[in-house]
Structure 1
């Protein structure tokens, strides 16, 4: 299953300073519909696509937003030129 969406890139306030994109609620609802309760409690493997860069990762449930978070590691941010505050077109494909 493929999901295309736009999301703002943000940086966590924790010591690690990880960068994330929060998936839109409608994408999260689609993931939960496909995977049932498991999608609400655990991570889901995905292939992510951003500005011509593809990588394998997972999306993680986020109780605060009621959605899922897509982590953006430093290598991806450097290759794509995105940083906190940017809006980005993102695609995720669920790993089978």
Structure 2
């Protein structure tokens, strides 16, 4: 399963001293991921392994379920720098379930 989506890059506000940035899958796509993932054993925190792509940058990672029922994709510093994206930017991303 592969999903393409756009989402605003946001900083995780739960910890003041940590710099974690995420984009969220839309609810409809998140529901499809949840249905697929519920049939498989998952890693900690309900993570689902994916191959991700933003612009020309691809990497292996996981998406994580949120309290609001969607999945979040971490956008690390390497990706943000390579693609020139900042918090508040709308990001076009792709995830493929591994």
- How far apart, in 2, do the equivalents of 1:12 and 1:48 lie? 19
**Counterpart in the other structure of 1:6:** 6
Normalising by structure 1, we get a TM-score of: 0.89
Normalising by structure 2, we get a TM-score of: 0.87
What secondary structure does 2:34 align onto? helix
- How far apart, in 2, do the equivalents of 1:76 and 1:85 lie? 15
* Shift, 1:35, TM fit: 2.1
- How far apart, in 2, do the equivalents of 1:93 and 1:35 lie? 13
Q: Is the 8 A contact 2:5 2:92 kept in 1?
A: yes
**Counterpart in the other structure of 1:69:** 72
Total equivalences in the alignment: 93
- How far apart, in 2, do the equivalents of 1:37 and 1:56 lie? 21
**Does residue 81 of structure 1 match 2:84?**
yes
* Shift, 1:88, TM fit: 1.1
